[in-house]
Amino acid sequence: MKKFRFRLQTVLDVAKTEEKLALEKFALAQGAVLKEKAIGEQLKQKLINLRSVGYTNSIDDVKMRESYDQVLQKQLKFSRQRLLELEKELENKRLELLSKVQKRQLLDNLKGKAWLKYKQEVQREEQLFLDELGVTRFSRKEGESL
C-alpha cells in the first residue's frame, strides 16, 4: 500500500507558520505593554519622590518643582493613554492568535482522522491478503488429501 499522505499538509504547514508569527506578534505586544507599565510606575515613583521632598524657602525652587510636577503629570497621563492603546492592541493580537491556534488544531484533528482512516485501510488490506493466503493454503491441502 502507498505511503500515508495528508492532502491538506501544505495548508497545515501554512497554518503552523501563521500561528508562529501570530505568537511572535503577541509576545512583542505583550512586551510593549509591560514596558509601558514599567514606565508608568517609574513616573509615579518620580512624582511621589518629588512631592515627598520638603520645600525650601526659595521661590525659584518652588516654581521649578511645581513645573517639574506638571511635566511628570503630563507624562503620566500620556503613559496611561499609551498603555490603554497597547492593551487594546494586545487584545487584538490575542484574538488573532486564538483564531490561528484554532485553525491549526482543526487541521491537526483532520490529519489525525485521516491517519486513523489510513491505518484502518492498511489493516483491512492486510486482513484480505491473509484471508486470501489462508484460502489458497486450505485449497492446496484439500487438493492433496483427495
- 10 Å Cβ neighbour count for 102? 12
Q: What is the pLDDT of residues 36-94, one digit of tens each?
A: 999 999 999 999 988 887 766 788 888 888 899 999 999 999 999 999 999 999 999 99
Place of cell 501570530: 22
Give the contacts of 62 (CB within 8 A, at least 6 positions apart).
Answer: 55, 56
* φ/ψ (deg, to 5) at 96: -65, -45
pLDDT at 146 > cutoff 70:
no
Q: What is the pLDDT of residue 117?
A: 94
DSSP string across 103-133? HHHHHHHHHHHHHHHHHHHHHHHHHHHHHHH
pLDDT at 139 > cutoff 60:
yes
b/e code 58-84 from CB counts within 10 Å (16+ = b): eeeeeeebeeeeeebeebbeebeeebe
